[in-house]
Chains A and B, each alone.
Chain A
Amino acid sequence: EAGVTQSPTHLIKTRGQQATLRCSPISGHTSVYWYQQALGLGLQFLLWYDEGEERNRGNFPPRFSGRQFPNYSSELNVNALELEDSALYLCASSATGVYGYTFGSGTRLTVV
Chain B
Amino acid sequence: GESVGLHLPTLSVQEGDNSIINCAYSNSASDYFIWYKQESGKGPQFIIDIRSNMDKRQGQRVTVLLNKTVKHLSLQIAATQPGDSAVYFCAELTSGTYKYIFGTGTRLKVLA
Interface size on A, residues (CB 8 A): 30
Interface size on B, residues (CB 8 A): 30
Q: Choose from A40, A48, A88 the contact partner of B99 (Cβ within 8 Å).
A: A48
Interface of B is mostly: loop
Number of residue pairs A-B, CB distance < 8 angstroms: 66
Shortest CB distance B2–A (Å): 6
CB distance B41 to A105 under 8 Å? yes
Q: Choose from A43, A55, A99 the contact partner of B102 (Cβ within 8 Å).
A: A43
CB distance A103 to B43 under 8 Å? yes
Q: How many angstroms between the C-alpha atoms of A100 and B91 in the bound complex?
A: 11
Q: Can you list 28 pairs linking A and B with CB atoms under 8 Å apart? A: A31-B98, A33-B98, A35-B102, A37-B4, A40-B6, A40-B7, A41-B104, A42-B89, A42-B102, A42-B104, A43-B44, A43-B91, A43-B102, A44-B102, A50-B98, A56-B98, A56-B99, A88-B4, A99-B49, A99-B93, A99-B98, A100-B49, A101-B100, A103-B36, A103-B43, A103-B44, A106-B2, A106-B43
